[in-house]
């Protein structure tokens, strides 16, 4: 039974199930040398019978970002990366019709010591993001993983 504590209307069990659904999808996306959108992530969540995100509501957009944070943290734990090293698999996710991952991506990168603290220039953001996409795709093409991307 999940915790009664909720964040963005979802309890710990629901968040864990969402991570279980999205992480393999992102690993498969990386192995295909692709990228994906928040809309695609929402479709994965929905296919697994979980509460989908209503992007018309600001809180739900934040919730989708929170899910990606949890996905990154789970992936980093499984890969045993320490602060200042490793990758952010959420680099593969961008807004529909755009190429930017969103501000939470860069804030998490700073928290994980993958980027310097303080204000980032547009060039720093772009260089880091592109570098992460490339490195994530290369990493997941060099490891053997089990995939369930229902």
**pLDDT tens series, the chain, 150 aa:** 444 678 988 999 999 999 999 999 999 999 999 999 999 999 999 999 999 999 999 999 999 999 999 999 999 999 888 777 889 999 999 988 888 898 899 999 999 999 999 999 999 999 999 999 999 999 999 875 554 444
- Give residue limits of the domains in the chain: 7-140
Count of Cβ atoms closer than 10 Å to residue 44 Cβ: 20
Q: What is the pTM of this model?
A: 0.89
End-to-end CA distance of the chain: 24
């Amino acid at each position: 039974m999940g915790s009664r504590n909720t964040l963005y209307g979802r309890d710990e069990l629901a968040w864990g199930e969402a991570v279980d659904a999205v992480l393999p999808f992102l690993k498969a996306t990386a192995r295909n040398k692709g990228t994906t959108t928040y809309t695609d992530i929402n479709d994965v969540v929905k296919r697994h019978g979980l509460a989908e995100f209503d992007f018309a509501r600001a809180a739900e957009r934040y919730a989708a970002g929170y899910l990606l944070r949890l996905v990154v943290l789970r992936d980093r734990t499984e890969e045993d990366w320490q602060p200042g090293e490793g990758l952010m698999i959420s680099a593969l996710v961008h807004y529909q019709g755009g190429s930017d991952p969103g501000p939470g991506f860069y804030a998490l990168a700073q928290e994980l010591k993958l980027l310097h603290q303080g204000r980032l220039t547009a060039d720093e953001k772009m260089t880091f993001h592109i570098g992460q996409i490339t490195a994530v795709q290369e990493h997941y093409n060099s490891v053997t993983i089990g995939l369930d991307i229902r």
